[in-house]
Structure 1
Amino acid sequence: MVAIMPQRFHRNVTYRLLALWLPTLGTSAAQAADIRVQLNGDRPGVVHASLHAADDHDWTSPLRQIRGNSDGIIFEDVSPGRYAVQLFVDSNGNGQLDVSPRGIPQEPVGFSGNPGLFRGKPDTQGSAFEHGDGESQVAIRMRQRRPAAPARAQPGHGG
């Protein structure tokens, strides 16, 4: 029986492990890239943003949540896939999105894909975008409910 010297055994194991590990070194780093979100419309306050898988169909399970300012938001090292972003500007600093009794946002909100909000909050698929292995840029238009116009006095009615 031939005895294997410990140094030679360790060297063989090391070379084999390196041969398995080195090919994956470049691929894992190249797959993840940043998603940069730019807000259209400068709004004072803290921006609360959440990243969602587009296949979730709703906004209840964010993959990531971050806070920033209106200069922009960056989700770092995100794997390629279909995603959706929702955000709001916390204008009064209470840490939550203020809504009316009917559920209408009272602070600026935005969604990737800039869907119309006339029919209510969009689902994630309506706000989806593709993120590849390079940096993605997402521009979001902030929307805010206009304050109600003051009632005008009718001519000839006590005015």
Structure 2
Amino acid sequence: MPMPVFLLLLCGFLSTASTSLLTEKTKLHVDVQNIREAKGSIHIAIFKACDNFPNCKPLDFRLIKASTKSVETSFEVEPGNYAVAVYHDANANGVLDKRMFGIPKEPYGFSNNFRPVMSAPKFKDCEIQVGASDKAISIKLL
């Protein structure tokens, strides 16, 4: 009889352990400020760490009509480290228009309100940590 009791205890332990291994998702609330024109759309992308940030594939993406001075959205994510990139596609052509040397013509912004000087930011520059509870960030467009 000791063997079936051991198996029952083992099954109960494995069931509890597998449930605790499932990570609960939390919300990352993103507030985009300083929208100058109520036309076009606001593109908001969230990224996991990548070598070519912000030119790598985003984890998730939102497209919101630019109708007010600010917009808000939320992403459901697992706790971890992320970066957010935003731009205002004022002319609604689906791309971030750039000047000579790749300098953006349209308003843009990054998490931590990181302001690039001579090159695109690195993931570490814009990295935010999302824990087990909801987190809110604000990004001001340049």
Aligned residues: 128
What displacement does 1:118 show?
A: 2.1
Match of 1:155 in 2: none
Report matched runs for 1:32-71 at 5 Å. Answer: 32-43=25-36, 44=38, 45-54=40-49, 56=51, 58-59=53-54, 60-69=56-65, 70-71=70-71
Answer 1 or 2: which has greater strand percent: 2
Match of 1:101 in 2: 100
Distance 2:133 2:11 in 1: 29
What displacement does 1:21 show?
A: 4.3
Match of 1:139 in 2: 138
Larger Rg: 1 or 2?
Answer: 1
Q: Calculate the TM-score normalised by the size of structure 2.
A: 0.75
What displacement does 1:81 show?
A: 0.9
Match of 1:154 in 2: none
What displacement does 1:42 show?
A: 2.9
Q: Calculate the TM-score normalised by the size of structure 1.
A: 0.68
Match of 1:114 in 2: 113
Task: Provide the alpha-carbon RMSD of the alignment.
Answer: 2.5
SS of the residue corresponding to residue 32 of structure 2 reads: strand
What displacement does 1:112 show?
A: 0.3
User: Structure 1 vs Structure 2: percent identity of aligned residues?
Assistant: 29
Return the letter of the residue paired with 2:28: I
Unaligned stretches of 5+ residues in structure 2:
1-9
Q: Residues 27 and 133 (structure 1 numbering): CA distance in 2 closer, same or farther, change over 3 Å? A: farther
SS of the residue corresponding to residue 102 of structure 1 reads: helix
What displacement does 1:56 show?
A: 3.8
Return the letter of the residue paired with 1:51: I
Higher RCO (CA < 8 A, seq sep 6+): 2
